[in-house]
Structure 1
């Protein structure tokens, strides 16, 4: 029962002078300015930032609209799907905007904020987090934020919204971690989240609601205009059930720079599958709530990492703290590994997989909780390379298709012979044939090379549970689909779907450069964008494999095999109930292990020292040829296996079988 209501003020540090009592803020805010420091250096109040924005000319606006038409008409792979599923026509909206601009001049055109709002609305209408209008300077690289995080949970069968984290150095006496939000600017919190969800792109209901919760407190400004309101009023219940109100100004500050460059014509840029919002938000949250991880990631000093297995309940040090968190967790069903992958947005997928394998090897081998919640994707190679490390089965990468348009054909034809390191040759023939056949899409080929995705072999032989949410997007959708399609383990979701981003995304800058290499195409429609503006587009759509072969990922996402609603304990006690649920799934699965130590003597005899658990038979292949097969005695020690006549520099693959199924494998050079 609530017994009283108190109004408290939370405000940023700011120099005071004779004009400190800004008339645009209520008196109780300006009086308190300077009472608490901003958590991100260089932050300013929202109204101060907005006052300095807005420098686009009429000609620059016209260029942006025309280039948006080029992308959506000539490159956008999901245009037919989005028009059908969401009853939208972004191309016509752009044409109308272009027509209105032609009737205006620099003197008569409307406010720049209105132009950005219309452009953003057109791109958001397709509900595709890959296809973006990226705002120009001064918005790019900045975030609008409130210095706390809100998360949804289910408690006592009721949906609740709790403050899960507050930024260092900011807080009112009663506004602490764990308080329950009841109203947002006077609107009941559930309705406020729904309204927020409708304003931001999301391919399905779960994804929109997840984005709606995020946007309450965090807005990457290169994708979304600053909030209309300069402050929010938050109604909340403290631990004693007392109702309070907090008036919190929005702040604007610089974000941590991205870890990969998607504009340079490289394999990494052409293999991007990234939700820009999620990537920006993830780095911003680290800056707000884990600044030590940001410092470690950006430091030139190499982290000292452990070489011994993690003790129960302990974290491991990683060389990529903004990418991984690895720890041994004690659950009600046993002690397992918990490996969080925050992003696939890396430049070097091999280094990424190396660090993953190292961390997994130091975690308990009885089972692994692989947690990709909130992962907005990144390098598609990194996501699909990871799959083979968790299964003995060969991996089939997801194939992708272009939409057949004259502009896409020009891009593919110019790079059919790999002049830039971006090989589009496999798609050329089907796209040329589409001129005659009228096919909407090209043939499907994988972005990730098959030999690369199967090069490492299985590295972790224990059971694995994958944990997902509606913020999983793009390369993480691809990873989750591959995990499920290859039956690596159960998918435990805290939402009904993943984010459903089924595409490879290219930037306008990359497309422009591709028609300039190796020699400029005189008919290229791409023009430089003004004032640091940018655009991105879904260029190739992804399709699932095996039982769901041919099914698109876009808008559908991946439905988890099991569901778990986040609880109050999950939000406030480091996912305690979620890890118990995952641990129960792991405990019900058979634990496997297969250790191989090869040695080759001068006479060409290969000796394999094997260690097994949960394996009934072992088959040995040398350079792809079957050379030996032995049964494993029940409960006994696996005998040493010898193979004669082996040449030097061979590759040995050892397969473990149980119940007629391949359950473990190791690949080792000799």
Structure 2
């Protein structure tokens, strides 16, 4: 390799972890990368803006809400942009980055992380990064911005996890974060600020404009309190690949609820700061044992989705299950692995942690809820906005098993007469499938959320709270508040492919757009409340501490353990089932149960009060039964349920 080529590789890359070293060696500096950008013609720009107008005017479900809440008019801004471009020529059109800026600002004006303008090549699949991560914590002195991760091999004087950032290119760090946050579309101030912090050092270029600066000057206090400073160039590299193809018409693509920015950033953070996960994914792909497991950690076949481990707190030993994403394309494998992992965790209590989870497959989020509760899950209903184009799409695909749009057609037809803004509300997740497995974990559960929880994770968190599965412990005052099913412009184009009068046209140079197509509504006690912009308010609040950021969430897990300590476990188990003289005899063991109801083949067959937690139940004329379900009650409240299949 020549000396000139050597200088293009950052100093830290030769010392990076082996699973990602070759990947990072292909990175380039921002200035070099941007020389390949700027190839959109004027005709292509006009086409992109015209397609954006169609999506926002005819498909965007939250348009009335956003116009009212934020006093914005993205449709008029697009019409003006199109009008101005009609007067331009290829010689007078402004630089391409100005077009991307205007398009991004229009989409960001609605503050919806589902509804995005996606930059074309060469930005597709790329991330811009600095080789460290900054996170925020608070104490009695206020907010602090601390380095929590440094890419393996990166070295600067006194620059290690724990140093506090004071200035960012000469701007006080808190102000710098607010300036970056103002460019983002979070639905509430905490969500925007959280994303502003994260985007200081990691930016997916598909969804964000590239940094204006080619390098950043970082001012910080080292471990001795000495003020130091260094300059670091932005680098650009291919991100790790996405888990799901959201563009092709399929049941998975139709049921997406994903914050693309969070999904891209999550994969980038794995690449930069968690190479052991990359190694575990590589090992799982070829059936090899997982390398580099930590104390108490359980090996998983889906290391980019789950991390399961046993944690010790002063309140006891509990399970800690991190769900990093719901973005999966094999729902059956995901559910089976989730069931397996929770069966291996301590049964005294579970800390279910979905922080930073940007969502994904709505089925994966809603189907998971049944594993933690004896009650029946009611999936969230969703609504289209009533427009002629949405009605046309639903009619065209009312019998299409891939998208199942038939339920919405009658109410949308009726809207022509009665002027209703939204269609009828129907669940996206089939209710029977959302209850097909039933409860699998019988200890108390606490859910941890933060402001980066979005989309399908908002739906999961709302379902957890609405079904009273357990308390919600938030590290922010609200989740990200993304309540919608999202479709891409490519997906919509394919839905009407082959029709000569389709309004959709494939975008040039892999440009893209996404739109919130169906809004979600909460259920049960919060029935009818939209998730969008409101989010889920936690039952208890824990602000992240310095110890949390540097010592693997020690204070947060301690707080969760204290909550679990005050909650009683309730369990019920069929330990034996035999056929005797034409009857079905069940031996049942329970914990903290005072009444037992028994169902055989979905029919109620027995109910008895318990004294010592044990029961022998004989159900006549049931020797050939296919299933039995026992439901346990405490003080009249359903607290545990177990189903056994016999054939």
**TM-score, normalised via structure 1 length:** 0.92
Verify: 1:495 aligned to 2:476, yes or no.
yes
State the partner residue of 1:507. 488
Could you say if the C-alpha distance between residues 223 and 270 of structure 1 is closer, same or farther in structure 2, counting changes exceeding 3 Å? Answer: same
Correspondence for 1:25: none
Q: CA RMSD in A?
A: 2.0
1:190 aligns with 2:177: no
- CA pair 637-495 structure 1, distance change in 2 beyond 3 A: closer
Q: Distance in 2 between matches of 1:171 and 1:467?
A: 34
Decide which of 610, 621, 633 is 1:657's aligned counterpart.
Answer: 633
Deviating more after overlay: 404-413 vs 39-48: 39-48
Q: Is the 8 A contact 1:303 1:317 kept in 2?
A: no
Q: What's the CA shift for 1:632? A: 2.2
The answer as to whether partners of 1:506 and 1:539 remain within 8 angstroms in 2 is: yes
Counterpart pick for 2:539 among 561, 565, 585? 561
The match for 2:610 is 632
Deviation of 1:647 after TM superposition, in Å, equals 4.7
Q: Is the 8 A contact 1:139 1:221 kept in 2?
A: yes
2:317 to 315, 335, 338: 335
Please give the alpha-carbon distance, in whole angstroms, between the structure 1 residues aligned to 2:563 and 2:96: 53
CA distance in 2, matches of 1:46, 1:78: 35
CA contact (8 A) 2:74 2:106 kept: yes
Compute the displacement of 1:413 (Å).
0.6
Cα distance in 1, alignment partners of residues 172 and 52 from structure 2:
37
- Taking structure 1 as reference, are residues 647 and 413 closer, same or farther at Cα in structure 2, changes over 3 Å only? farther
Query: Aligned in 2, Cα 1:466/1:303: closer, same or farther, shift over 3 Å?
Result: farther
Contact 1:312 1:329 in 2 (8 A): no
Partner of 1:439: 420
User: Using the alignment, how far apart are the partners of 1:101 and 1:312 within structure 2?
Assistant: 57
CA gap 1:625/1:370 in 2 versus in 1, 3 angstroms? same
Q: Distance in 2 between matches of 1:475 and 1:447?
A: 12
Matched position secondary structure for 2:178: helix
Please name the residue that 2:4 is paired with: 17
Following superposition, the deviation at residue 484 of structure 1 comes to: 0.5
Is residue 312–residue 330 contact of structure 1 (8 Å, CA) maintained in 2? no
**Distance change >3 Å, CA 144–CA 33, structure 1 → 2:** closer
Match of 1:321 among 303, 307, 320: 303
CA contact (8 A) 1:350 1:382 kept: no
Query: Of the candidates 451, 460, 468, which is equivalent to residue 470 of structure 1?
Result: 451
Q: Does 1:619 align with 2:600?
A: no
Residues 1:354 and 2:336 aligned together: yes
Cα distance in structure 1, aligned partners of 2:141 and 2:643: 48
CA change 1:19–1:357 in 2 (3 A) is closer
- The aligned counterpart of 1:89 is 73
Query: Cα distance, 1:649 vs. partner?
Result: 5.3
2:98 is equivalent to residue 120 of structure 1: no
State how 1:407-418 maps to structure 2 within 5 Å.
Answer: 407-418=389-400
Cα deviation for residue 238 of structure 1 reads 1.1
Quote how far apart the aligned CAs of 1:61 are: 0.8
- Alpha-carbon deviation of 1:303? 4.8
Out of 111, 122, 142, the position equivalent to 2:126 is 142
Question: What is the DSSP-based 3-state SS (H/G/I as helix, E as strand, rest coil) of the residue aligned with 2:423?
Answer: coil
Residue in 1 that maps onto 2:622: 646
1:258 and 1:298 map into 2 onto residues whose CA distance is 15
Q: Say whether 1:47 aligns with 2:28.
A: no
**CA separation of 1:313 and 1:592: change in aligned 2, threshold 3 A:** farther
Q: How does 1:203-218 map to 2 (within 5 A)?
A: 203-218=187-202
DSSP-derived class of the 1:199 partner: coil
- Counterpart secondary structure, 2:453: coil
SS in 1 for 2:411: helix
CA distance in structure 2 between the partners assigned to 1:655 and 1:325 by the alignment? 30
Match of 2:645?
Answer: 669
> Which residue number in structure 2 is paired with residue 428 of structure 1?
409
1:477–1:33 Cα change, 3 Å: closer
Alpha-carbon distance between aligned partners in 2 of 1:444 and 1:477, rounded to the nearest angstrom:
18
For 1:261, the equivalent position in structure 2 comes to 245
CA contact (8 A) 2:128 2:237 kept: yes
| Separation in structure 2 between the aligned mates of residue 33 and residue 412 of structure 1, nearest angstrom | 52
Question: Is 1:376 the equivalent of 2:358?
Answer: yes
Is the aligned partner of 1:77 residue 2:58? no
Q: Distance in 1 between matches of 2:623 and 2:61?
A: 50
CA contact (8 A) 1:43 1:253 kept: yes
Name structure 1 gaps, 5 residues minimum. 1-13, 21-29
Contact 1:598 1:668 in 2 (8 A): no
Q: Residue 331 and residue 214 in structure 1: after superposition, are their counterparts in 2 closer, same or farther (change >3 A)? A: same
Separation (CA, whole Å) in 2 of partners of 1:374 and 1:552: 21
CA distance in 1, matches of 2:331, 2:117: 27
Shift of 1:305: 7.9
Q: Distance in 2 between matches of 1:557 and 1:629?
A: 40
Cα deviations across residues 465-501 of structure 1 (Å, max 9, x unaligned)? 0000000000000000010001100100000100000
Counterparts of 1:543 and 1:642, CA distance in 2:
43
Tell me the number of residue pairs that the alignment of Structure 1 and Structure 2 aligns.
Answer: 637
Question: Could you tell me which residue of structure 2 aligns to residue 537 of structure 1?
Answer: 515
Question: In the aligned structure 2, how far is the partner of 1:529 from the partner of 1:332?
Answer: 57
**Which moved further from structure 2: 99-108 or 280-289?**
99-108
Deviations 1:393-427 (A, max 9, x none): 11110000000000000000101122x52110110
* Structure 2 counterpart SS, 1:412: helix
Pair 1:231-2:215 in alignment: yes
Instruction: Check whether the contact 1:67–1:526 (CA below 8 A) recurs between aligned residues.
Output: yes
Determine the C-alpha separation between the residues in 1 that align with 2:55 and 2:627: 47
Q: Is the 8 A contact 1:303 1:319 kept in 2?
A: no
Q: Are the structure 2 counterparts of residues 174 and 107 from structure 1 closer, same or farther at C-alpha, using a change threshold of 3 Å?
A: same
Please say if residues 401 and 442 of structure 1, whose CA atoms lie closer than 8 Å, have aligned partners that are also in contact.
yes
Deviation, structure 1 residue 291: 1.7
1:585 aligns with 2:563: yes
Is residue 302 from structure 1 mapped to residue 287 from structure 2 by the alignment? yes
Supply the distance in 2 between the matched residues of 1:51 and 1:658 (Cα, whole angstroms). 68
The SS at the match of 2:182 is helix
